[in-house]
């Protein structure tokens, strides 16, 4: 069943370069990753906050994403607690966005005339962000490679105009392109460095931290402190610093969740608390935009 | 005669929304033609692909004739402005206006002559509104527009009688053009009619007609399974989804490594069907095989599609296999304690608390079912452990089933394994029903515990909201009792469940729960009877005397009566009862102190005596028949009173001058009614 198609494999970093170049040509502001721990590219303020308010905005960036519960100590070929997303956000959503997206796939060697590209219903919701959108997950020959979403609501506020968000799962995509069964076998660059060389130790150690060593008593306290700080900053009407504190809250919550110390009922309560923070920040941000 | 042809081109609309939109569009356009009295071919079609919603109606006249009519204007005393407005809006002049008295005053009138209207004009005027009326189950906005649609709408093609219809729908102008390529949305083509349109796409392999796509997919699959000696399982909802996520279906046979067949087949099937929308295949002995079908939306010229899909399933099945191997050896009994850390529901404790309650409940039920107490207690103890496994984390829909497989692997008793596996069944009206008593007992105790718990913390469903699917739980409970003919005392069980909660320290208002939950279950039971197509009056009657403990009896009696109501035994029974009860009802005013029986010493004639004897015979019958009552036989016996009752009414005047005799005759009729109540209360039956 192994493919014998020989051509120069696109490395992990070249995949990123190509996507950046492609979306740069489409007029996107190419940003660098946000310097805080977040669960997905969507949490970058360049998406959450910028999708709110009337001003047009186009951006693309790589975002390292952390999902503590998905850690598998580097033993599972498909699961990571830290991985990369390539995120595109355009407001208002352009008419030819599907075409733009399919052409972006061509730029990394996936020709839509040779592969079964399918837009499969997948409506998105983020309880912590108070956000919801309609769209698809994009399948390439049965593999999910992208999330494609029209934001309808963010931070509890209706989006007007509507932004479109495209999120590529870079590891998945590269495993498809490079025909690898394990994420750790991905070729990182043309010098033969693999994903394993770069990240295996990190997966192992962070899994141990997330599941075993994180000091939960302290984290509970830190959560309270960060929450308080966020509220104070909202009062002072500085949305961006407030949002930073809120992101930290969210990450602390994720680690507590991974440690298994949050019950189902508590879980809903914590999520609601973060959502309230996001909503109050969203309001302050929108005021600053008019 | 002309055709109307409309195509709405959009980004990919999900399968269910497409089906819904097709129905909506069909309904709206039909209403339009009917309301405007335009003839049309009622067997018209609405088609769709993920990107195209297509309407095609033919046999429409080009013109319709409107007969002349008098249009009433303002009252003659109204200000002049009103008259001016009336003239303007009717596009006429003062000379053509006349006055007429209507009885409610004198009004201005205008006579509109009969005239012809072009259907194309009507369509141009109304299509936008017809489209706006489509009620989407879920819709969205995009860019700067205000329009709500299933997914972004890109263009509208509208043709009548080969000519374009021009109208504006929100921000989109209709035209006679559409996009040829759904992916890149390049290449625009003009179309004149539906025929050339569907032919054009057909040549590109694109099938606009969903039924045709379905046929082609099914034919291709059948051809392959016949050749390979395989079978597939009928799965309409999956096929319908597949049909509506492709426009040019290509069936591809793929396979996965046979080693994965060691993993429980439910896991493999769920992975294929639910996650990947593949069709699994089975051999003639009904065992899952490693062949499966992928329906691609593209011809797999270079083999990429097959290869890619096989890789995906390989990765997914490796994951599942990894978890299966890891979880199956984790000792179920040793893990029970860990359930203390898992919340069942806020206010109802942990899963550990829940299984303690279930253990007591199922143990009590085991007495009625004559099954082993030890076994059902073991099943209760281990039944929720699988919730902590990686596999249920990955496949939440397989909770219970996965636990059953763990139990089997770890050598638990066969009936215990099955009970664990089936503990969530049935899940509503249509779902599969467990038949084995251990399974029924476990499922009953799970549902009872949940129902009492949710009512205890006052989370009953409201008329519009039922977020915890409590109705479905109650329906399932009813089905377990009725369809398995289990003889349990539900009332006692509810009381007992409350006491089990109390033992754990939950302070519920027991009386309130009992009343509310009884009413709730009886309501579900009535719905259940309704689903079984039982007449409403029979449903009402059957639950009038028979309560929560008699669901099975009430079900059987109403089923039997429903079946026989138009036949002689049903008809005569009701007639006898009605004749008697009608007299009793009219005589109610006299308010006789009923003794409950008639005095044979006061009988004046044979008719009374014979009726009395007959009633007593029937009473004896009901006394002698117990659990094994044959309800059809009972009806037959009731109806056999026909002659005695007819003779009685033909020859005896109830309303005797002597009040004592009259009262005695009324007592006789009252006896008859009370005796008939042994079957059910016929008062509410419409004769």
Q: B314 — contact with chain A (CB < 8 Å)?
A: yes
Q: For A173-208, how does the pLDDT look when each residue is reduced to its tens digit (9 = 90+)? A: 999 999 998 999 999 999 999 999 999 999 999 999
Residues of A in contact with B50 (CB under 8 A): 119
pLDDT at B564 over 50: yes
Is A263 in contact with B347 (CB distance < 8 Å)? no
Q: For B412-442, how does the pLDDT look when each residue is reduced to its tens digit (9 = 90+)? A: 999 999 999 999 999 999 899 999 999 999 9
- Dump the DSSP string for B256-279: --GGGGGS-HHHHHHIIIIIT--E
Cβ of A115 and B298 within 8 Å?
Answer: yes
Cis, peptide link before residue A92, omega less than 30° from 0: yes
Q: What is the band of B69 on the pLDDT scale with cuts at 50, 70, 90?
A: confident
Among A140, A161, A181, select the one facing B308 at the smallest CB separation. A140
Among B294, B312, B345, select the one facing A143 at the smallest CB separation. B312
Cβ of A264 and B301 within 8 Å?
Answer: no
| β A29-31/A57-66 pair status | parallel
Is A101 in contact with A148 (CB distance < 8 Å)? yes
Q: B98 — contact with chain A (CB < 8 Å)?
A: no
Cβ of B143 and A94 within 8 Å?
Answer: yes
Among A3, A112, A120, select the one facing B245 at the smallest CB separation. A120
Cβ of A1 and B142 within 8 Å?
Answer: no
Write down the pLDDT at residue A1. Answer: 42
Q: Terminus-to-terminus CA distance in chain B, angstroms?
A: 52
Q: A237 — contact with chain B (CB < 8 Å)?
A: no
Q: What is the band of A7 on the pLDDT scale with cuts at 50, 70, 90?
A: low
Distance, CA of B366 to CA of A18 (rounded, Å):
67
ipTM for the whole complex: 0.92
Is B446 in contact with B424 (CB distance < 8 Å)? yes
Q: B241 — contact with chain A (CB < 8 Å)?
A: no
Cβ of B276 and A142 within 8 Å?
Answer: yes
Q: For B575-602, how does the pLDDT look when each residue is reduced to its tens digit (9 = 90+)? A: 999 888 888 887 765 555 677 788 888 8
Name the residue with higher pLDDT: B219 or B466. Answer: B219
Q: For A23-71, how does the pLDDT look when each residue is reduced to its tens digit (9 = 90+)? A: 999 999 999 999 999 999 999 999 999 999 999 999 999 999 999 988 9
CB pairs under 8 A between A and B: 115
Q: A4 — contact with chain B (CB < 8 Å)?
A: no
- Dump the DSSP string for B289-355: EEEEEEEESS--TTSHHHHHHHHHHHHHHHHHHHHHHHHHTS-HHHHGGGGGGSBSSTTS-BHHHHH
Residues of A in contact with B298 (CB under 8 A): 113-116
Question: Rounded to a whole number, what is the distance in Å from the CA of B404 to chain A's nearest CA?
Answer: 25
Cβ of A181 and B315 within 8 Å?
Answer: yes
Element (H, E) at B10: strand B2-10
Distance, CA of B469 to CA of A47 (rounded, Å):
36
pLDDT at A2 over 50: no
HEC states along chain A?
Answer: CCCCCCCCCCCHHHHHHHHHHHHHHCCCEEECCCCCCCCCHHHCHHHHCCCCCCCCEEEEEEEEEECHHHCCCCCCCCCCCEEEEEEEEEECCCCCHHHHHHHHHHHCCCCCCCCCEEEEECCEEECCCCEEEEEEEEEECCEEEEEEEEEEEECCEECCCCCEEEEEEHHHHHHHHHCCCCHHHCECCCCCCEHHHHHHHHHHHHHHHHHHHCCHHHHHHHHHHHHHHHHHHHHCCCHHHHHHHHHHHHHHHHHHHHCCCCCHHHHHHHHHHHHHHHHHHHHHHHHHHC
Cβ of A99 and B142 within 8 Å?
Answer: no
Is B124 in contact with B32 (CB distance < 8 Å)? no
Write down the pLDDT at residue A3. Answer: 47
HEC states along B455-509?
Answer: HHCCCCCCCCCCCCCHHHHHHHHHHHHHHCCCCCCHHHHHHHHHHHHHHCCCCCC
Q: For B233-276, how does the pLDDT look when each residue is reduced to its tens digit (9 = 90+)? A: 988 899 999 999 999 999 999 999 999 999 999 999 999 999 99
Q: How many CA atoms lie within 13 A of A57 on its CB side?
A: 23
- Closest by CA to B677, choosing from B596, B608, B566, is B596
Name the residue with higher pLDDT: B543 or B472. Answer: B472
Average pLDDT of span B475-504: 93
Q: A143 — contact with chain B (CB < 8 Å)?
A: yes
Residues of B in contact with A94 (CB under 8 A): 143
Q: Best mutation site among B9, B10, B12 for testing chain A: the one with the most A CBs within 10 Å?
A: B12
Element (H, E) at B570: helix B568-586
Average pLDDT of span B601-606: 88
Other residues' Cβ atoms within 10 Å of the Cβ of residue B125? 12
Q: Best mutation site among B15, B20, B141, B255 for testing chain A: the one with the most A CBs within 10 Å?
A: B141
Residues in chain A: 290
Write down the pLDDT at residue A207. Answer: 94
Q: A134 — contact with chain B (CB < 8 Å)?
A: yes
Q: For A226-252, how does the pLDDT look when each residue is reduced to its tens digit (9 = 90+)? A: 999 999 999 999 999 999 999 999 999
Write down the pLDDT at residue A264. Answer: 63
């Amino acid at each position: 069943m192994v493919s014998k198609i020989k051509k120069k494999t696109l490395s992990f970093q070249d995949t990123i370069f190509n996507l950046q170049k492609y979306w740069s040509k489409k007029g996107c502001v190419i940003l660098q990753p946000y310097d805080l721990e977040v669960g997905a590219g969507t949490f970058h303020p360049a998406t959450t906050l910028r999708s709110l308010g009337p001003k047009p905005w186009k951006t693309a960036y790589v975002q390292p994403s952390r999902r503590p519960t998905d850690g598998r100590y580097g033993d599972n070929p498909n699961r990571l607690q830290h991985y990369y997303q390539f995120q595109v956000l355009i407001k208002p959503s352009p008419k030819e966005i599907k075409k733009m997206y399919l052409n972006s796939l061509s730029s990394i060697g996936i020709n839509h005339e040779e592969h079964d590209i399918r837009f499969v219903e997948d409506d998105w919701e983020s309880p912590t962000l108070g956000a919801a959108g309609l769209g698809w997950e994009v399948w390439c020959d049965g593999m999910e490679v992208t999330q494609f979403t029209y934001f309808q609501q963010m931070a509890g506020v209706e989006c007007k105009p509507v932004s479109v968000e495209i999120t590529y799962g870079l590891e998945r995509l590269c495993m498809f392109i490079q025909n690898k069964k394990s994420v750790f076998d991905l070729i990182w660059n043309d010098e033969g460095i693999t994903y394993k060389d770069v990240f295996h130790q990190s997966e192992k150690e962070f899994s141990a931290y997330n599941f075993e060593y994180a000091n939960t008593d302290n984290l509970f306290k830190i959560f309270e402190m960060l929450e308080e700080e966020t509220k104070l900053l909202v009062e002072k009407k500085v949305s961006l610093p407030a949002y930073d504190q809120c992101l930290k809250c969210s990450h602390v919550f994720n680690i507590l969740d991974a440690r298994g110390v949050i019950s189902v009922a508590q879980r809903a309560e914590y999520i609601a608390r973060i959502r309230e923070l996001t909503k109050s920040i969203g309001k302050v941000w929108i005021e600053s935009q008019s | 005669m002309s055709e109307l042809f409309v195509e709405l081109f959009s980004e990919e609309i999900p399968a269910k929304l497409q089906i819904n939109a097709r129905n909506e569009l069909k309904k709206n356009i039909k209403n339009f033609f009917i309301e405007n009295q335009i003839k049309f071919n009622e067997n018209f079609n609405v088609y769709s692909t993920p990107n195209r919603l297509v309407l095609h109606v033919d046999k429409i006249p080009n013109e319709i004739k409107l007969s002349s009519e008098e249009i009433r204007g303002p009252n003659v005393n109204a200000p002049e402005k009103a008259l001016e407005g009336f003239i303007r809006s009717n596009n006429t002049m003062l000379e053509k206006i006349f006055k007429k008295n209507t009885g409610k005053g004198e009004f201005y009138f205008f006579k509109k002559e009969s005239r012809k209207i072009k259907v194309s004009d009507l369509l141009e005027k109304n299509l936008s509104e017809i489209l706006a009326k489509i009620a989407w189950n879920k819709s969205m906005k995009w860019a700067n527009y205000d329009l709500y649609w299933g997914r972004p709408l890109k263009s509208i093609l509208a043709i009548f009688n080969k000519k374009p219809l021009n109208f504006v729908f929100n921000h989109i102008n209709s035209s006679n053009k559409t996009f040829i390529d759904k992916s890149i949305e390049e290449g625009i083509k003009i179309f004149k009619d539906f025929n050339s349109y569907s032919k054009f796409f057909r040549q590109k392999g694109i099938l606009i007609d969903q039924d045709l796509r379905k046929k082609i997919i099914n034919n291709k699959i059948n051809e392959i399974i016949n050749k390979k000696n395989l079978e597939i399982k009928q799965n309409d909802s999956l096929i319908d989804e597949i049909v509506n996520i492709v426009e040019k279906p290509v069936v591809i046979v793929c396979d996965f490594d046979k080693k994965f067949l060691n993993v429980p087949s439910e896991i493999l099937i769920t992975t294929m069907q639910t996650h990947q929308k593949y069709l699994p295949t089975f051999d003639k002995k009904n065992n899952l095989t490693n062949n499966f079908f992928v329906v691609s939306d593209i011809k797999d010229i270079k083999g990429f599609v097959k290869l890619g899909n096989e890789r995906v399933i390989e990765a997914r099945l490796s994951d599942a296999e990894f978890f299966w191997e890891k979880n199956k050896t984790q000792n179920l009994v040793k893990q029970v304690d860990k359930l203390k850390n898992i919340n069942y529901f806020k206010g109802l404790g942990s899963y550990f608390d829940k299984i303690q309650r279930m253990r007591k409940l199922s143990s009590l039920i085991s007495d009625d079912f004559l099954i082993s107490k030890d076994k059902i207690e073991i099943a209760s103890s281990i039944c929720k452990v699988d919730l902590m496994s990686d596999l249920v984390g990955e496949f939440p829909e397989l909770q219970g089933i996965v636990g059953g497989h763990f139990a089997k692997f770890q050598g638990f008793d066969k009936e215990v394994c099955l009970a664990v596996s089936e503990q969530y069944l049935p899940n509503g009206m249509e779902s599969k029903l467990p038949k084995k008593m251990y399974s029924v007992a476990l499922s009953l105790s799970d549902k009872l515990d949940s129902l009492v718990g949710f009512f205890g913390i006052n989370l009953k469903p409201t008329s519009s909201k039922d977020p915890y699917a409590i109705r479905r739980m109650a329906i399932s409970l009813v089905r377990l009792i009725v369809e398995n003919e289990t003889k349990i005392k539900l009332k006692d069980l509810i009381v007992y469940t409350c006491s089990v909660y109390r033992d754990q320290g939950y302070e519920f208002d027991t009386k309130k729960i009992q009343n509310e939950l009884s009413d709730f279950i009886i309501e579900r039971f009535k719905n259940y009877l309704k689903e079984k197509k039982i007449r409403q009056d029979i449903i009402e009657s059957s639950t009038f005397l028979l309560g929560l403990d008699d669901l099975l009896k009430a079900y059987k009696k109403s089923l039997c009566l429903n079946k026989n109501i138009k036949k002689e035994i049903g008809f005569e029974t009701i007639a006898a009862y009605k004749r008697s009860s009608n007299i009793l009802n009219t005589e109610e005013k006299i308010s006789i102190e009923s003794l409950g029986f008639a005095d044979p010493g006061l009988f004046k004639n044979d008719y009374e005596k014979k009726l009395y004897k007959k009633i007593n015979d029937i009473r004896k019958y009901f006394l002698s028949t117990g659990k094994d009552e044959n309800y059809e036989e009972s009806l037959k016996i009731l109806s056999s009173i026909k002659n005695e009752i007819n003779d009685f009414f033909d020859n005896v005047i109830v309303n005797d001058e002597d009040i004592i005799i009259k009262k005695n005759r009324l007592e006789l009729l009252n006896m008859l009614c009370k005796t008939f109540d042994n079957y059910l209360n016929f008062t509410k039956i419409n004769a």
